[in-house]
Amino acid sequence: MTDSRDLILGRIRSALVGVDRAEHPANEPVARDYHDSHTDTGLANLLARNLTDYRAHVHRAAEAELPGLIGRLLAARGARTLAVPPGLPTDWLPGDSGTRILHDDGTLTATELDRVDSVLTGCAVAIAETGTLVLDAGPDQGRRMLTLVPDHHICVVRTGDQIVASVPQALRRLDPERPQTWISGPSATSDIELNRVEGVHGPRTLDVVLIAEG
């Protein structure tokens, strides 16, 4: 470790040769004219491809088809209960599917949410280049616990106005003072002997529905 440390410190000293000791980083302007993304076309397809690489299940539908698709996804899992945030559009909900809808008003406990089969939310923004969904506790997303405890998460993304190319573009849309959850595929870890285990600190299954409004 000493040799590595000496190497790193030596490189730092070399980089600082000729730099005035009175110079402060805050006084030096930093150029911001670089590209903030690698692509600006085909964002929905790129998002779908990267989500699939992360083992999420991606579906496409027109907005009018959403209730039927949600009903089929729930039926395929045999879901008996579906938790939804208070501001979720009611026309997203499936019809008479036999699934009990639980409207989360903030009183559902972690134990109760652990017994919920599925949860349905929207998102704040989706990042195509990284295959990432960002939730910020908006009305159609709810509190963080709602999407971190149940084993199955269905997330709806509007392709018309919620997909951006890159992380820098997403950050410009987000309020840093709001609680955020960044999701890239179902929850997983490979910490133990490099074996992938899913559902460790979030949903085991992630279904993403891309809808084209209008």
Is 139 within the bounds of a domain?
A: yes
- Least reliable range by pLDDT among 63-67, 76-80, 185-189: 185-189
What b/e string do you get for 49-67 counting C-beta neighbours within 10 Å, with b at 16 or more?
A: ebbeebebebbebebeebb
Is 109 within the bounds of a domain?
A: yes
Is 16 within the bounds of a domain?
A: no
Contact by Cβ (8 Å): 175, 160: no
Of 104, 132, 125, residue with least CA distance to 175 = 125
pLDDT above 70 coverage of the chain, percent: 91
Is 199 within the bounds of a domain?
A: yes
| 153 Cβ contact partners less than 8 Å away, ≥ 6 residues apart | 118, 119, 121, 147, 183, 202, 203, 205, 206, 207
Cβ neighbourhood burial of 134 (10 Å; 0-12, 13-18, 19+): buried
E strands present in 100-148? 100-103, 118-121, 125-127, 132-135
Look at the chain and report how many structural domains it folds into.
1
- Least reliable range by pLDDT among 23-27, 49-53, 88-92, 115-119: 23-27
Per the rule left: phi > 0, alpha: psi between -120 and 50, beta: everything else, 42 is left
Over residues 168-204, the pLDDT tens digits come to: 999 999 999 999 999 998 766 666 666 666 656 678 9
Q: Which domain holds residue 205?
A: 41-212
**CATH number where 155 lies:** 3.40.50.10420
